[in-house]
Amino acid sequence: MEDKGLLLVVSGPAGVGKGTLCKRLFSQAEKLNLEYSVSVTTRSPRPGEIEGKEYYFRTREEFLDMIANNEFLEWAEFCGNLYGTPLFHVHNVLKQDKTILLEIDIQGAKLVKEVFPHGVFIFIVPPTFTELADRLHGRGTESEEVIALRLAQAVEEMQNINDYDYAVENDEVDVAVEKIKSIIIAEHCRIKKTSS
């Protein structure tokens, strides 16, 4: 892949605050030359989510057609819903010498790394698992059964941290955002890209 831009992957356990961090970064998109990668999902929209902004909402049948047509950089299923990164959008952004930000799960990040080994992979970690559980409960969007599943998954996902280039603890949002901005600046200044 010889695109000029920077592919930035942000992932970590559910409830760790990836969405909050990415929205804060995206509020400075022009300054950072950053574009958000909007994923496709089969899950129902949460209150306030807008088609084409947070996600592209599709039926399972539509999503499966996109898979058959090789329209995803990566896709995965979690808690009965499908999620995927539309490939055409990623290439278009990179060719414009911009940074494209992918907020995806750990399984998706592994698939992206196979195609884009020179991407920059950031793992967001919670201060503690107790804090992570509190955040999941505080969202009020999922059942106790789904929360328990997400917490069990988080324990397993933390074992993948060494597959990433950077780890950023999301204790204070402003501090975590500044760390990610510093990573973006440093990566754009890098002379030689190395695959990890």
Cα–Cα distance for residue pair 129/19, rounded to 1 Å = 18
Which pLDDT score is estimated for 138?
A: 79
- Residue 88 falls inside a structural domain: yes
Cα 168 to Cα 18, 19, 23, 186, distances in angstroms:
10, 14, 16, 15
Give the model's pLDDT for residue 170: 93
For residue 156, tell me if it sits in a domain. Answer: yes
Where does 24-165 show beta strands of DSSP type E?
A: 34-36, 39-41, 55-57, 72-78, 81-86, 99-103, 120-125
Query: What pLDDT does residue 167 have?
Result: 96
Q: What is the pLDDT of residue 193?
A: 65
Is position 81 within any domain? yes
Q: Rounded CA gap, 73 and 85, in Å?
A: 5
What total number of domains does the chain contain? 1
pTM across the whole model: 0.78
Per run of 10 residues, the mean pLDDT along the chain (length 196 residues) is 78 86 92 88 94 91 96 89 89 90 88 89 89 79 82 85 95 95 91 62
pLDDT of 34: 93
Q: Residue 1 has what pLDDT?
A: 40
Domain CATH number, residue 10: 3.40.50.300
Q: Does any domain span residue 40?
A: yes
Range of the domain at 99: 6-189
Looking up tokens 């049948």 gives 61
User: Could you give phi then psi for residue 124, rounded to 5 degrees?
Assistant: -90, 125
Residue 195 lies in a domain: no
In the chain, DSSP assigns E strands to 6-11, 34-36, 39-41, 55-57, 72-78, 81-86, 99-103, 120-125, 166-169
196 lies in some domain: no
- In a domain, residue 111? The reply is yes
